[in-house]
Structure 1
Amino acid sequence: MIPWLDTHDDFPPLEHALPEPNGLLCAGADLSPQRLLLAYRRGIFPWFSPGEPILWWSPDPRMTLAPSALKISRSLRRRLRQDDHEVRFDSDFDNVILACATVPRNGQNGTWITPEMQAAYRRLHALGYAHSVETWIDGELVGGLYGIAIGRMFYGESMFSLATDASKIALAHLARYLTANNFGLIDCQMSTAHLASLGAREMSRRDFIARVETLTAETVRPGRWSNTDTTRP
């Protein structure tokens, strides 16, 4: 059995997370900005399917990516040098998260990005914590990703692609932006072979939490990201 949280309850210690399924910690509470920011600062994230209660997770090990360690293939590097696309930051967050929720994925049925989750992350975007990186071709949004930034820590949430390499282009620009702004780590949550091929590596929960505590403690003013601003956030 896992603990059930009311809205005023704190999260249980991370050592209480179940080994199987990996990292399931507790259920309940809410998706308020205060609760979500507290969760991310503790190395916890929500993940649940429609019809389920809110489930909170802290897997061990954790998949992570240093922004400067992103592996870019030669073909993607050539594509990044072309002028057939445009990358924007925070220009259409609502449609990015909607596309992440609705664009079909190989091997997946349905989505965990429910309308309730979309509303919660839109609130974080309005507060300057949630961000989108978007790939545009001929004025159309064709790929992108979104995540949460706290201090110098970035928590990747989801990405989508409607054109070849569109999500990888967004990821490459995100890594470049985070490197320029001294971010230390991207949280990729769960381990996959695809993430490993991009340079992500597993980290023990203990080491991950130590990094999160250091990076989120840095004072950074939340706000919208700009493509041309390499000194913020």
Structure 2
Amino acid sequence: MVFLTEDIKFPPVESASVDGVVAMGGDLSSARLIEAYKQGIFPWFDQGDLILWWSPDPRMVLVPSEVKISKSMKSVLKKQLFKVTFNTAFEEVIKNCSKITRKGQDGTWIDQSMIEAYVKLHEMGYAKSVEVWHQEKLVGGLYGVDMGHVFCGESMFSKMSNASKTAFIYLAQKLEKENYQLIDCQLYTDHLYSLGAREILREEFIEILKA
């Protein structure tokens, strides 16, 4: 296992463990985070532990044009129950993501250091958010890191049924119009699969990322 020092360079993703861990340690400086995402690497670790840097193989991704909208979701969108905005409440979104309880997880990996690091990335124009509102209240959303032609999704939350799905669908439709090639969903979940995401080889993902 490679331990990172002050040098922000990462080992090649091909050297990752079977689980996809590339390295550990280092910090969440903006320069290191940007370098990580350029290499197809992201941080994910338990609160209080050393930072773990991941590049799983296979990689869960969505081609924006392939987003699946079920009949029930089409009905929800048609009713215009929600108002959707982009990059208007980034800090609120990431803080809400940090508070959501998730199946099979104790606590959250989005601690205060992560929040501060990604708020800085947002201020630099890299980290972006989608907000879903109902009656002027923030009820869902997502955030991630925008690499120009690949949007690296980080986390989403929902306080109302279908709110996070709405955020994801609106994001996919916006990125399709802007000719983005992929939304990086990182790891497989049934929820993402139901929305049209699929697994591809890490090698293929890196090729697209670096194109």
The bucket for the TM-score relative to the shorter chain is over 0.9
Give the alignment partner of residue 80 of structure 1, picking from 77, 82, 85: 77
Match of 1:56 in 2: 53
CA contact (8 A) 2:8 2:31 kept: no
Question: Separation in 2 of the partners of 1:60 and 1:103?
Answer: 26
Question: Separation in 1 of the partners of 2:202 and 2:57?
Answer: 5
SS at match of 1:135: strand
Match of 1:135 in 2: 132
1:44 equivalent in alignment to 2:58: no
Superposed structure 1 runs of 4+ greater than 6 Å apart: none
C-alpha displacement at 1:9, in angstroms? 4.6
Question: Separation in 2 of the partners of 1:5 and 1:119?
Answer: 20
1:152 equivalent in alignment to 2:149: yes
C-alpha displacement at 1:104, in angstroms? 2.0
Uncovered stretches (5+) of structure 2, i.e. residues with no partner: none
Match of 1:220 in 2: none
Question: Separation in 2 of the partners of 1:75 and 1:81?
Answer: 10
Query: Sequence identity of aligned pairs in percent?
Result: 50
Question: Separation in 2 of the partners of 1:139 and 1:195?
Answer: 27
TM-score (norm 1): 0.88
Question: Separation in 2 of the partners of 1:53 and 1:104?
Answer: 22
Uncovered stretches (5+) of structure 1, i.e. residues with no partner: 215-233
Q: What's the RMSD between the two structures over aligned residues?
A: 1.0
1:69 equivalent in alignment to 2:58: no
Match of 2:183 in 1: 186
**Most deviating of 129-138 and 100-109:** 100-109
Alignment length, in residue pairs?
211
**Could you report, residue by residue, the CA deviation over 1:7-39 in whole angstroms, capped at 9, with x for unpaired residues?**
2152111121001xx101111111111111111
TM-score (norm 2): 0.97
